[in-house]
Structure 1
Amino acid sequence: MAEKQSLFNPGMKRKLLAVLRILLLTAAVVYLLIFISNTLLVDDQITVYFSTEDAQYLAAEQRDIIEDHDIYFQIMEELNKGPESDQLSATIPDEVELLDYDLEADTLILNFNLALRENHWGGSTGEILTIYSIVNSYTALKEVESVQILLEGQEVETLVGHLDLSRPLMYNQELVTDN
């Protein structure tokens, strides 16, 4: 009976195993580098927007985030705190709470309590600055393209009569100034 011959001789087998080990080690190193860059280089700040002194534009402030807290609630907490700079003014009325949110594709649906409307000081510019301080702050996140505003779970046509809220809103660069 004829002896079965191996496809690879012992020297070829060793070389093939060495190449496979090198490939496996390289893949592990690449995976580790990607993991480290995603965890260590994650942005640990958010951008929130407040009114300029003349109440005509929005200006950005950077805020540190707490990694294990919900970023969507953190943004609202920072907006509620108001600006750190004396050159900027708050845009969110007192007692406003973000009740919940839902991210559908790239549209973030924010559900606020009625204080957003009931405690608002009014005026078309005030309404625009309030809404776009919210919209611009949330659309600064890479996963959010647009923001839909709800009050107590209900769609609203407007906050105080000037800005159409019946559809999702996108970032508004025209309102933003460098401070």
Structure 2
Amino acid sequence: MKKLVMAGTVLVLAAALAGCGQKPQAAPEGEQQPAQVTEPNVSQGAGPNNTQVEEPNLQTVQVELYFTDDDLMELTKVQREIRFEQNEDKYAEAFKQLQVSENGLFSLWEKAILNKVTFTDGELHIDIGLPDEARLGSGGEVLAIDSLKATMFQFDEVRSLELTVGGEQVESLMGHVELDHPMTR
């Protein structure tokens, strides 16, 4: 008897669920149907449920980024394309790409945390967080600073670079090399 009741319950639930997937029927004459919701007319990008989401108008620029070998002996230039919406965003995007290692090369900024990037009157201000695992020896620190300067000074409008840690000017980034405030070309 219990099995019969369970089987009947399952059949009733299955019938109810099968009706949930049916298309709506036309409303009887004289009744109004609710307004149809339509997808916006957009051009690019897939959003939730595979709906199209319009991407902002992104600019694309080729940038030079600087990485090192596993021995931290010298910098190697790599070109990548970055995409950004507003002109000021290109500096943050360049820094983020500087954190992504290239095949066979080592990123000196991979473990640094980018807090904030601002650009005013020719001065680029980059504020980072520097956890212990992001700290390098003296040779690595020199290369890291050089790679950041070479990457950011490729933009003609950047005349100086102010690097802070946690919003504060520091004498040395990792304890080995004195930092200028600001660094200039």
Same fold (TM over 0.5): yes
Q: Is residue 2:113 matched to residue 1:97?
A: yes
Return the TM-score normalized by structure 1. 0.62
1:75 to 94, 109, 113: 94
- Structure showing greater radius of gyration is 2
Other structure's SS at 1:154 match: coil
> Following the alignment from structure 1 to structure 2, what is the Cα–Cα distance between the partners of residues 46 and 146?
18
* Matched positions, count: 125
Offset, 1:46: 1.1
Instruction: Provide structure 1 residue ranges, at least 5 long, that are not aligned to the other structure.
Output: 1-41, 172-179
For each residue in 1:18-62, what CA deviation from the matched residue of structure 2 results, as whole angstroms up to 9, or x when unmatched? xxxxxxxxxxxxxxxxxxxxxxxx872111111145422212111
Letter of the structure 1 residue corresponding to residue 133 of structure 2 = N
1:108 and 1:147 in contact (8 A); partners too: yes
Q: Which has the higher contact order (CA 8 A, sep 6+)?
A: 1
Between the aligned residues of both structures, percent identity stands at 26
Q: 1:10-159 alignment to 2 at 5 Å? A: 44-68=61-85, 70-83=89-102, 85-86=103-104, 88-94=105-111, 96-115=112-131, 118-159=132-173
> Following the alignment from structure 1 to structure 2, what is the Cα–Cα distance between the partners of residues 161 and 133?
18
> Following the alignment from structure 1 to structure 2, what is the Cα–Cα distance between the partners of residues 143 and 124?
30
Return the TM-score normalized by structure 2. 0.60
Offset, 1:161: 1.6
Letter of the structure 2 residue corresponding to residue 152 of structure 1 = G
RMSD of equivalent CA atoms: 2.1
1:93 and 1:121 in contact (8 A); partners too: no
Instruction: Provide structure 2 residue ranges, at least 5 long, that are not aligned to the other structure.
Output: 1-58
> Following the alignment from structure 1 to structure 2, what is the Cα–Cα distance between the partners of residues 123 and 57?
14
2:126 and 2:164 in contact (8 A); partners too: yes
